[in-house]
A and B are shown apart, each in its own frame.
Chain A
Amino acid sequence: EAQVTQNPRYLITVTGKKLTVTCSQNMNHEYMSWYRQDPGLGLRQIYYSMNVEVTDKGDVPEGYKVSRKEKRNFPLILESPSPNQTSLYFCASSPPFRNNEQFFGPGTRLTVL
C-alpha cells in the first residue's frame, strides 16, 4: 500500500531533550516536506527537500533540523525542544510533475513540557 508513515504518533517530552520524528514514504517521491499544524493557523511548512541531500527552509524553520540521506526517509530533528514546539506535525511527499498533489502522513502529536 502506498503510504507515508510517521513515528511516533504521540510523544510527550521535556524541554531540552533531543528528539527525532521519523518519516518514510514508499512511493519513490522526490519531494518531501514537514508541516506543523496549530489551531487557527492551519499548516505551516517547516522544511522541505527536493531530493536526496537537497533540503531548504520553509516558513517556520527555527528550532528544527532535517536530513535527507535516502530518498524514502526525511526525519525531523528537534535538538533542544521548547514548549512553543508543542504541535501536531505532518510529513508529506509528492511525485514530480503531479502539480503538488501531496500525500500526508497520519501526524505526530508532540507535547513539550
Chain B
Amino acid sequence: AQSVTQLDSQVPVFEEAPVELRCNYSSSVSVYLFWYVQYPNQGLQLLLKYLSGSTLVKGINGFEAEFNKSQTSFHLRKPSVHISDTAEYFCAVSGPLSGGYNKLIFGAGTRLAVHP
C-alpha cells in the first residue's frame, strides 16, 4: 500500500522568509502527487499537482514543488511567505497501489504559521 509522510507537523516562519514543507511517499510504481491547502474553517484547495513531465511544478499563490523520484519526495517551497499563507498543507498521492488513480492518500498535514 502507498503511504505519505509529512516530516514536519508544524512550521513556524517569519513573513517574507522562504519556506519548505517536506513530503515523502512510499511507492515503487508511478504515482500522481498533489499538494492541497486548507485555510482556517474552509475545505481543501488544490495548490499544485505532478502527473508527469517536468519535475518542477508551479502552483497557485507562488508555491512550487519538485518531484524527486530517487528520493521519493515532493517538497513544497515558496521563496517569500505572507501572513495570508498561514494554513494547513496536505501532501497526497494516488496510484495503482493506493486503490486506483481516483483515490487520494493524504499525509497527516503540516501547519504553516507565518509571523510578522
Interface residues of A (CB under 8 A from B): 4, 31, 33, 35, 40-45, 48, 50, 58, 90, 92, 94, 99-102, 104-107
CB distance from B35 to the nearest CB of A (A): 12
Q: Check: B67 CB closer than 8 A to any chain A CB.
A: no
Q: How would residues 1 to 32 of chain B score, 1 for a CB under 8 Å from any chain A CB and 0 otherwise? A: 00010100100000000000000000000001
CB-contacts of B41-97 with A (<8 A): 41-46, 49, 51, 90, 94
CB distance from A26 to the nearest CB of B (A): 15
* Cβ contact within 8 Å between B108 and A90: no
Interface of B is mostly: strand
- Known pairs A43-B44, A90-B44 / 6 extra A-B pairs, C-beta < 8 Å: A42-B107, A43-B104, A44-B106, A99-B49, A100-B94, A100-B102
List 24 A–B pairs whose Cβ atoms lie within 8 Å, in order of A's numbering: A4-B43, A33-B103, A40-B108, A42-B4, A42-B107, A42-B108, A42-B109, A45-B103, A48-B102, A48-B103, A50-B102, A58-B103, A92-B44, A99-B32, A100-B94, A100-B102, A101-B46, A101-B49, A102-B44, A104-B43, A105-B43, A106-B41, A106-B43, A107-B42
